Amino acid sequence: MSDPRILTIVLNYKTAQMTLDAAEAARTAMQGLPGEIVIVDNDSQDGSFETITAHVASAGWDNTRVIQSGHNGGFGAGNNVGIRAGLSDGSRPDYVYILNSDAFPKPDAIRVLYDHLNTTPTTGFAGSFIAGEDGVQHTTTFRFPSVWSELEGAIRFGPVSKLLKSYRVPRELTASAPVDWLAGASVMIRQDVLDEIGLFDETFFLYFEETDLCRRAQKAGHSVMFLADSVVTHLGSVSTGMKQWQRVPDYWFDSRWYYFAKNHGRAYAISATLLHLTGGSLHWLRCKLTGKRYGVAPHFLRTMAAHDFAAVFKSQRGQPVQARPQIGE
């Protein structure tokens, strides 16, 4: 029997050189492993596709392809293009490895994930330890969101957070452990699991798509593992421009609402929003009274209230609630 094969997908959006750097790091990390790399240009329309294609050809990168998505449907849709492309001989891979264009695996990072999936058949998803260029760990391991996590995250009050600590979404882990879901910067997935549960839900433009996919995998009986020995350096939010956000974009609110409504029902989504608004309002009031820094994006609560109020009535009329902006807008 041949060794399981990996399809590594690197999704590019207007960051051609960085994507090439990530792909080169992946090529190094895949040495000795059976598989291929596919770089998907997510309809950048800035010359990225041509630049990346020319470099791959001139550098003689074997087992590396560059393809066009033809439409920027977001993170999940772009990765789905790569998954559907499969291996260059038309066959399906055994594992799909998703790597952000601003993420750079250490030489053994991919092998650690690969070896774990080979030896642990109950694991459907395996994700890496993600750190910044300064070596400081990023939080990429999480619990599933809930109505109580919405209250805990919004109120920012120690006694409440202590009471609701088992619902807090971020998990600060330094040792390998099972988790509810992982950020998609560096994660390896069994193709058999994707065949069973489906690919990324393309209704999500950006954010919550990994949460939803991991939830579907766990409901089908497949565990999600964080592997601390698989180390990846991540710049973070380069394509999305999140670090420069002055206001949270509509597509974040779209994805949050859709996640709750899809997985728990509209009444639950409404409850989650009401608890978030309650907790956020109490946090705002406490900051006003004490002079503490508010630390929340401008107009966040009023935008959430207006967005989700509108989403309730749009869904009642059967209208879509998803906006489809371009990443980086």
Residue where a domain terminates, one of 188, 216, 237? 237
What does the pLDDT look like over 128-161, one tens digit per residue? 999 999 999 999 999 999 999 999 999 999 999 9
- Calculate mean pLDDT across residues 37-41: 98
Tell me whether residue 146 is in a domain. Answer: no
Q: How far apart are CA 200 and CA 211, in angstroms?
A: 10
**Residue with token string 């449907």:** 73
Residue where a domain terminates, one of 237, 271, 286? 237
Confidence of residue 313 (pLDDT cuts 50, 70, 90): confident
Say which DSSP state 47 is in: S
Assess whether 218 and 270 both reside in one domain.
Answer: no
Whether 240 shows a pLDDT value over 60: the answer reads: no
The domain tally of the chain equals: 2
The CATH number for 23's domain is 3.90.550.10
Tell me whether residue 167 is in a domain. Answer: no
Residue where a domain terminates, one of 237, 267, 291? 237
Residue type, 193: V
Q: How far apart are CA 329 and CA 274, in angstroms?
A: 28
Confidence of residue 76 (pLDDT cuts 50, 70, 90): very high
pLDDT at 94: 98
Cα 109 to its chain centre, rounded Å, is 18
Nearest to 255 by CA among 90, 35, 43, 75: 75
Which residue range is the domain that position 306 belongs to?
A: 245-316
Which range, of 17-21, 64-68, 117-121, 319-323, averages the lowest pLDDT?
319-323
Percent residues over pLDDT 90 in the chain: 91
pLDDT at 325: 42
Whether 323 shows a pLDDT value over 70: the answer reads: no
Are 232 and 105 contacting, i.e. CB atoms less than 8 angstroms apart?
yes
Whether 244 shows a pLDDT value over 70: the answer reads: no
Say which DSSP state 154 is in: H
Segments in the chain forming alpha helices (H): 16-29, 48-59, 75-85, 109-119, 147-155, 158-163, 191-197, 209-219, 250-264, 266-290, 300-316
Assess whether 101 and 228 both reside in one domain.
Answer: yes
Whether 328 shows a pLDDT value over 60: the answer reads: no
The pTM of this model reads 0.92
Assess whether 216 and 264 both reside in one domain.
Answer: no
Whether 260 shows a pLDDT value over 70: the answer reads: yes
Q: How far apart are CA 175 and CA 184, in angstroms?
A: 19
Q: How far apart are CA 16 and CA 316, in angstroms?
A: 42
Assess whether 266 and 194 both reside in one domain.
Answer: no
Q: How far apart are CA 47 and CA 146, in angstroms?
A: 42
pLDDT at 314: 79
Mean pLDDT of the chain: 93
pLDDT at 315: 62
**Burial status of residue 136 (CB atoms within 10 A of its CB: 0-12, 13-18, 19 or more):** exposed
Tell me whether residue 110 is in a domain. Answer: yes
**Vertex 106: Cα angle to 101 and 107 (nearest 5):** 115
Radius of gyration of the chain (CA): 20
pLDDT at 2: 83
